[in-house]
Every structure is written in C-alpha cells, then in structure tokens.
Amino acid sequence: MNKILVVEDDINTRKLICVVLNHNGFVTFSAEDGLAALDLMEKQHIDLVVLDLMMPNMDGYELTRQLRLSWEALPILMISAKQSLEDKRQGFLVGTDDYMTKPLDEEEMILRIKALLRRAKIASDRKLEVGKVILDYDSLTVSREDTVVMLPQKEFLLLFKLLSNPKMIFTRLQLMNEIWGIETETTNHTLNVHINRLRDKFRDWTEFEIVTVRGLGYKAVKNT
C-alpha cells in the first residue's frame, strides 16, 4: 500500500483527509506543520505528500523547497484556500507537482493522487523490457537489437504507460489526465495523433501493438 503524509495545521481538515485516504486504500501519516513533517520523513518512507500552503513555523512553499532538497522525485500535492494564478505559479516554481484549492473535492483529490503516484512509478521504473524491446525512460528511447528510436516525451510516456499494463484498457480521458495533466485542455484529436504516430513508427515491430477498443480507448497487446 502507498504511504501518504498529510501535512495540515487544522486538525479537523487533517483528520478528514486521512479518513478519505484510508477509505481509498492508502496508509496515512500526519503532521501539524512543516517541521514535524520533515522529522517524520527522516524516519518513515513516504510515497506522496499532501501539504497545506498556510501553516505556522514553516509554510507550504518552504516545506516543498526543503523536501525537494532530499526527495527530488517525491510526488507533492499542495492544497490551499488561495486560488489566484500567482499563488499556484509560486507553488509550481518551488517544486510542487499539483495544486488544489479548498474546499477540497474528495473524489478529485483521490484522482489527482492516483495520477501522481502512477507518474512516479513510471519515473522510478526507468526501464521496461518487452521481449527484445527496451524502453529507457532516461533517454526516451525504444530499442531493439541495433535499432534505436528516440521519441518525444509525450509519445514515450504513452507507450511506456500502455506497455506497463498490457491488455488493460485505458480511456482517452485517463491517458490525457495522466500524460498531459488533469487540468489539460488537450483534446481527443491530440491523443489520437500521438497514438497514430506511435503506430507508424513501430508498425513493423512484432513484439507489441496498440489496439483501439471502440467506444472505450486504447490498450497495448504484447506478442512475445
């Protein structure tokens, strides 16, 4: 189970978030401010942090900066009553991965957390092997014996995602939310273009294929 740290100075909000996360299968830890959070992080492995922006002793901006010094790839979801574009911009500049405004929509929070964890898994796995085909996250390449194909980032992430979960059907919305972000204005047309480019580039590669599931989305099928 993924372990999530909730950093929130308001005890009622902190407890509510933990309850919602627990009900969705996550293990939760909590801290009332940034100092307590950093202390806990030194003792316990954490897969993702949900942190409030406005807290005593150390606000969410500074906590995010501190977390990035030691846990560069740790997914961070910042929450705040502040809704201005500048506040969100500052959050992303200091290193948060996503930003939600209060009052929180519980279902949306869970969707965002799951998306962040999936992206983190792709980043941590780094390489994926499908028969003789190797997908290398660091170089964004797909290779087979002496053939190496370098892909644009979005195309690589799409292929990596599909091949990491063979036979699983992903809706177009799932893929757009995960690869482009939940607030993206990307359209079905953009996704279809990326899928078609992947099909063209790997048309003669027999190890896998990308299949359209009519009315639902896409899936990858391994032939090895």
Give the pLDDT of residue 1: 80
CA separation for the pair 219, 159 (Å, rounded): 10
Give the pLDDT of residue 15: 96
Give the pLDDT of residue 37: 95
Contact 75, 115 (CB under 8 A): no
pLDDT, tens digit only, all 224 positions of the chain: 889 999 999 999 999 999 999 999 999 999 999 999 999 998 888 999 999 999 998 999 999 999 998 888 899 999 998 888 888 899 999 999 999 999 999 999 999 999 898 878 766 777 888 989 999 988 899 999 899 999 999 999 999 989 988 888 999 888 888 888 766 666 788 899 999 999 999 999 999 999 999 888 999 998 86
CA separation for the pair 94, 65 (Å, rounded): 6
The encoded tokens of residue 153 equal 């980032």
The encoded tokens of residue 187 equal 């359209």
Give the pLDDT of residue 185: 67
pTM for the predicted model, two decimal places: 0.63
Contact 54, 25 (CB under 8 A): no
DSSP letters for 93-135: HHT-SEEEESSP-HHHHHHHHHHHHHHHHHHHH-EEEETTEEE
CA separation for the pair 134, 197 (Å, rounded): 19
Q: CA 46, 121, 138: angle at the middle one, nearest 5?
A: 120
